[in-house]
Each structure stands twice: as C-alpha cells, then as structure tokens.
Chains A and B, each alone.
Chain A
Amino acid sequence: MEIDPFIFRLSIFILSIFIGYYVVWSVTPSLHTPLMSVTNAISSVIIVGAIIAALAGNNENIFNESSIFGFLAIILAAVNIFGGFLVTQRMLAMYKKKKK
C-alpha cells in the first residue's frame, strides 16, 4: 500500500517542531525581541498562498470573490515581510561589542 502524502507532510511538520525547539533554546535571551520580529517575518511566507489565490482569477475578471481575498492577504503579508525583516535588521545593527 502506498503512503498517503499527508503522512510525509506530517513527518516534516513534527520534525520541524523538534528543530524549532532545539534551535530556539539556543537563541541568546538578549536577542529574544529580534527573534519575535523575525519569526513574524518568516511566518508571512503565507504570501505564497495569497499569490496563488490572487492569480487564480481570469483576465476578464481579475478581482473575483476568491481572488480579492488573495490580493488583500498579499498586502497584509507584504507589510509583515518588509516590516519584520527591516525592523529586525535595524535592531540587530544596534548590538555592539565593547570597544577595547
């Protein structure tokens, strides 16, 4: 019997939780705020779903009832992606070592 592809995705999901667990515990506490802003930015990779949804409309009717939600989601996710990565960049640039 063939394995359902869902099982593969579930495996990826479970293994990623474990990777996340170990990677995040090794994040230094002084960088917890940048951690939150960067996780926020990367979770906006949901934009790929929004793009597929937005482009599903046909040429005569670009904004149909389903693609309009895709377009709205693109805006929201884009705010997050640019905002999240840039604010993280801005914060990380401030962390400096003692000048000797």
Chain B
Amino acid sequence: MISTNLLALFYLVSGVLFILALRGLSSPETSRQGNFFGILGMSIAVIVTFLSIGNFSTSFIYVVLFLLIGGGVGAFIAFKIPMTAMPELVAGFHSLVGLAAVFVAISAFLNPEAFNLGASGNIKLASLIEMSIGAAVGAVTFSGSIIAFLKLRGIMSGAPITFTGQHVLNLFILISIIGLTYFLCVSQSPNLFWTLIVISFLVGILLIIPIGGADMPVVISMLNSYSGWAAAGIGFTLENTALIITGALVGSSGAILSYIMCKGMNRSFFSVILGGFGGTDHISKSDSKEQKPVKSGNSDDAAFLMKNASSVIIVPGYGMAVAQAQHALREMVDTLKKNGIKVSYAIHPVAGRMPGHMNVLLAEANVPYDEVFELEEINNDFSNCDVAYVIGANDVTNPVAKTDPQSPIYGMPILDVEKAKSVLFVKRSLSPGYAGVDNDLFYRENTLMLFADAKKMTEDIIKSF
C-alpha cells in the first residue's frame, strides 16, 4: 500500500509524461520517443493504482484478465487495420473512451464509498455534479462516435439527415439536461441519473446525423475533444491529477484540430454543428455549365507532358486513398525522379477524412516526409512548376473559391493548381466533389482531364514513360 500523497505524485509524473508524448509530435524524429513516454506514463498510472489498493485477491486476477483481453483485442486491431481506415478506427476508439467514462461514472454513482465520495444516496454535491458532467459528455461522445463510425464506414449514408424543428429539439434537450442535473443533485435519485445518461446518448446521435460527409474531419476532431472533456470530468470526480491533466490536453488538442479543419474549409464551427452541408441542394447550380468544352487525354499525353517538365507537384486527395493509388503514385514519382524531374507533394489541410490522413497514407507508401508540403509552404511554387498532377482531390483545387462570392466554397483556402503551366486532373467523370460545386479547373485552357481510375491511370503513365 502506498500513501495517498505518493500516489498523487506518481499521477503527476504520468501527466507530465503525457505532455512530453504530445510534445514529441512536433517533429517525426522525436515522435517515436514521445510515444514511448506516453506508454511509460500509462504503465506508471496503472501500476501505482494497483499498489494503492493493495487488494491482491481474486478480484485482482480478474482485473488483470480483463485488461489482457481488452489489450489483446486492441493490439490485434492495431496491427490489422489498413491505414485507409484510420478515420473509422479513431472514431471507434473515441466511442470506447466515451463509454468507459459512462461506466466509471455509473460505478461511482452506485458505490461512492469506494471512491471516498460520501455514501450511496448522499453523495457530495460537487462530486455528483462532476459525475453527471463526465457521464453526460461521455455518453454524447459514445453515441456521436458510433454515428461517425457508421458514416465513415459507409454503413450509414454520408448525406446529412435533417428534419424540421431539429435545432429546436436539440435546444429543448440541452435545457432538459441542465434541469435533470439540477434535480439529480437535489434528490440523488438513481432514476434521474439513468435518464440523464439515456438522454445524453440521444444528444450524441442527434448532434452527428445532420452533419454531412464533407465535414467529417471536423466531426472526428470534435469528438476527440469531447472524449478529453469526459475524461477530465471523471478526473474531477475521482480527484485524480493524471486524468485531469490528460483530459485537458486531449480536450484542447481536439478543439485546436477542429479549428484548423474549419479554417481549411472556411466554415465556422457553428455552421458545421448545425449541419446540412454536403447534401444534394447545391448540385443544381452546376447544370448551366455542362456544355463547356473540356480537353481530355490519355496516359501517353500525360507521360509526354511530364517527360518535358522540370518540376512536378502532386496534389493527392481522398480519391487517391479510395483507389488505393498511393503505392502506384510513389512508383510514378520514382520514375520521374530518375529522369531528373523535381517532384514534391502538396497537401491541403482538409484532404482526406481526418487531419493528417494524407500524410500517413503517403508515409505508408514510403514517400519521405520532407517531400510533402502543407498548403502555405508550397502554394507559391505552383506558378513556377510545369505540371500539377491532381489525383483524387477536387474541391480543394477549385479556383471558384477565390472568384465567385456566390459559391458555397467561396473563401476556402485552395491550392493554386491553376497557376501551373499544365494541370493533369485524374478523375473518373466530371461530377462535382463533396461540396457539390462544379470545378472551374476542368474547363481551363491548361487543364488536361485524365478520365480513369486513379490507380490504373498512374500505372499506365509509368508504362508509357
């Protein structure tokens, strides 16, 4: 048995190690060491908790057993998951944190003595409020992440689900949650506690269903943030420093990522939450433009253009991941480099389905990270480059965002692809992207459309070289 003070100091050490784990991510070189700090912090937290209880009875064996079962499942998933499925995986993991927070809160409510929170039916007021917040936010995180998971997996349609009175209903539920928490504190009634959890589950669902597929990067970041606040709420209940520190770190991390994603789409956080974006309502706009001439070519034309280029910029998007074209793409780039052509990659902040998704996919295909650039770093280089190869990206290259104030994507920062001498745009058809906006780039003088599957076209270009 170790003293409470010593225990608190060890939790503080864990918290500091978690800070170092995030700090390590400031560069790929230090990141692996950072992850090690994270693992160390977690091990310390778990071991000192065991030591503090000192109850090495039959229960202890079960705890270890359950830990190993969960750990085994987690390890199996971690090794099996393809990198293209990272968004779903992260959404799934968030749901587990949320549900774990709910379970711990329930357990603390049923047996407050175990946590020094007073007696059952007479829980300390502050603890009860913290517990309710932890449970409610945890429940929202859980059900919201499940919906996000289903949408990302394609089990549920990515189209936003909206109905009249949606916002009024959400507002009503929000008020009822505050009311419920108040009455729960007054009466300590278990029924109110259960009702609170059930309603919070409902909020999570209602919150995410109106948000369309295009806004998924924001949703994932937002749920990341929620899972942190839920953990912090439980941390206050259990008076545990490691949990409070971690919850605050994760909460602010998710909030920052949401902000970066919103900025990448020039959308306010509020309009993302209110939902409805990425539906079918904008598509009708594009009808009038359909008659414009488009230049299209084949892999030989593309290879010819690239052969005569001295610099090429690759613009990958989510379509590249869908077509599993990243490995073929890297092979094509190798061929280009062998011919003395300078190649770099340009990544838009919202390319892919989650923050940084494209970077992971390129890293998996053995693309060195120092050839991959962010929007601000590379945007000026397009005017000096000979060929821009757009593969699986669409809305993030649309010049309309700079010129047409009527467009739903007006003001969104975009990659200045149209400034390249020639643009090779790999796409299956002229259909508009997620935002439902027709891409002006298709009809430009310097654009050559390559109508094909991204992987097949890239492989054909290698052959034609």
Seen from chain A, the residues whose Cβ lies within 8 Å of a Cβ on chain B are 5-6, 9, 12-14, 16-17, 19-21, 23-57, 59, 62, 64-67, 69-99
* Cα of A74 to Cα of B55 in the assembled complex, Å: 17
Q: List 30 A-B contacts (CB under 8 A).
A: A21-B256, A24-B249, A26-B23, A30-B369, A32-B257, A33-B355, A35-B356, A36-B257, A37-B93, A38-B25, A39-B250, A42-B38, A43-B97, A46-B234, A47-B46, A49-B115, A49-B238, A50-B103, A52-B114, A53-B108, A54-B63, A56-B111, A67-B107, A79-B93, A80-B74, A87-B77, A87-B86, A96-B363, A96-B368, A98-B368
The residue on A at minimum CB distance from B61 is A62
The distance from the CB of A28 to the nearest CB of chain B, in whole angstroms, is: 6
Q: Verify if B158 is at the interface (C-beta below 8 Å from A).
A: no
Q: Is the CB of B114 within 8 A of A53?
A: yes
Q: Is the CB of A79 within 8 A of B77?
A: yes
Which 10 interchain pairs have the tightest Cβ spacing? A78-B70, A32-B356, A83-B74, A56-B114, A82-B74, A16-B248, A20-B252, A66-B111, A32-B355, A86-B78
Given contacts A23-B19, A24-B256, contact A74 B26 (CB under 8 A): no
Identify which of A21, A26, A45, A72 gathers the most chain B CB atoms within 10 Å of its CB.
A45
Neighbour of A96 across the interface among B60, B248, B366, CB < 8 A: B366
Choose the segment among B223-231, B313-321, B389-397, B434-442 that binds chain A (4+ C-beta atoms closer than 8 Å): B223-231
The residue on A at minimum CB distance from B352 is A33
Q: Verify if B21 is at the interface (C-beta below 8 Å from A).
A: yes
Which residues of chain A are near B49, meaning CB under 8 Å? Answer: 48, 51-52
Q: Verify if B374 is at the interface (C-beta below 8 Å from A).
A: yes
Q: Is the CB of A69 within 8 A of B106?
A: yes
Tell me whether chain A's interface is mostly helix, strand or loop, or mixed.
Answer: helix
Chain B interface, number of residues (Cβ within 8 angstroms): 116
* Cα of A20 to Cα of B35 in the assembled complex, Å: 16
Choose the segment among B203-211, B239-247, B425-433 that binds chain A (4+ C-beta atoms closer than 8 Å): B239-247
The distance from the CB of B345 to the nearest CB of chain A, in whole angstroms, is: 10
Given contacts A45-B45, A95-B28, contact A23 B238 (CB under 8 A): no
Q: Is the CB of A78 within 8 A of B228?
A: no
* Cα of A98 to Cα of B27 in the assembled complex, Å: 15
User: Of residues 29 to 57 in B, which have CB atoms within 8 Å of A's CB atoms?
Assistant: 31-32, 34-35, 38-39, 41-42, 45-46, 49-50, 53, 55, 57
The residue on B at minimum CB distance from A21 is B252
The residue on A at minimum CB distance from B86 is A33
* Cα of A26 to Cα of B106 in the assembled complex, Å: 37
The distance from the CB of B110 to the nearest CB of chain A, in whole angstroms, is: 4
The distance from the CB of A68 to the nearest CB of chain B, in whole angstroms, is: 8
Given contacts A34-B360, A38-B25, contact A92 B32 (CB under 8 A): yes
Q: Is the CB of B249 within 8 A of A91?
A: no
Which residues of chain A are near B201, meaning CB under 8 Å? Answer: none
* Cα of A93 to Cα of B74 in the assembled complex, Å: 18
The distance from the CB of A81 to the nearest CB of chain B, in whole angstroms, is: 6
Which residues of chain A are near B14, meaning CB under 8 Å? Answer: 45
Q: Verify if B277 is at the interface (C-beta below 8 Å from A).
A: no
Q: Is the CB of B59 within 8 A of A34?
A: no
The distance from the CB of A15 to the nearest CB of chain B, in whole angstroms, is: 8
Which residues of chain A are near B31, meaning CB under 8 Å? Answer: 31, 34, 92, 95
Which residues of chain B are near A49, meaning CB under 8 Å? Answer: 104, 107-108, 115, 234, 237-238, 240, 243
The distance from the CB of B162 to the nearest CB of chain A, in whole angstroms, is: 27
Identify which of A25, A41, A59 gathers the most chain B CB atoms within 10 Å of its CB.
A41
Q: Is the CB of A83 within 8 A of B240?
A: no
Neighbour of B250 across the interface among A42, A83, A93, CB < 8 A: A42
Which residues of chain B are near A91, meaning CB under 8 Å? Answer: 83, 86, 360, 363
The residue on B at minimum CB distance from A8 is B241
Q: Verify if B354 is at the interface (C-beta below 8 Å from A).
A: yes
The residue on A at minimum CB distance from B264 is A29
Q: Is the CB of B70 within 8 A of A38?
A: no
The residue on A at minimum CB distance from B29 is A97
Q: Verify if B155 is at the interface (C-beta below 8 Å from A).
A: no
* Cα of A89 to Cα of B254 in the assembled complex, Å: 20
Which residues of chain A are near B172, meaning CB under 8 Å? Answer: none
Which residues of chain A are near B86, meaning CB under 8 Å? Answer: 33, 37, 87, 91
* Cα of A87 to Cα of B35 in the assembled complex, Å: 11
Q: Is the CB of A86 within 8 A of B104?
A: no
- Given pairs A40-B97, A45-B41, A83-B75, 20 additional interface contacts (CB within 8 A): A12-B244, A20-B252, A27-B22, A32-B354, A32-B355, A36-B220, A40-B93, A45-B14, A45-B242, A47-B67, A48-B243, A50-B103, A51-B50, A79-B74, A80-B100, A85-B39, A88-B35, A89-B35, A92-B31, A97-B370
The distance from the CB of B149 to the nearest CB of chain A, in whole angstroms, is: 13
Q: Is the CB of A43 within 8 A of B356?
A: no
Q: Is the CB of A16 within 8 A of B15?
A: yes
Neighbour of B93 across the interface among A19, A65, A72, A80, CB < 8 A: A80
Neighbour of B22 across the interface among A5, A24, A62, A64, CB < 8 A: A24
Q: Is the CB of A29 within 8 A of B359?
A: yes
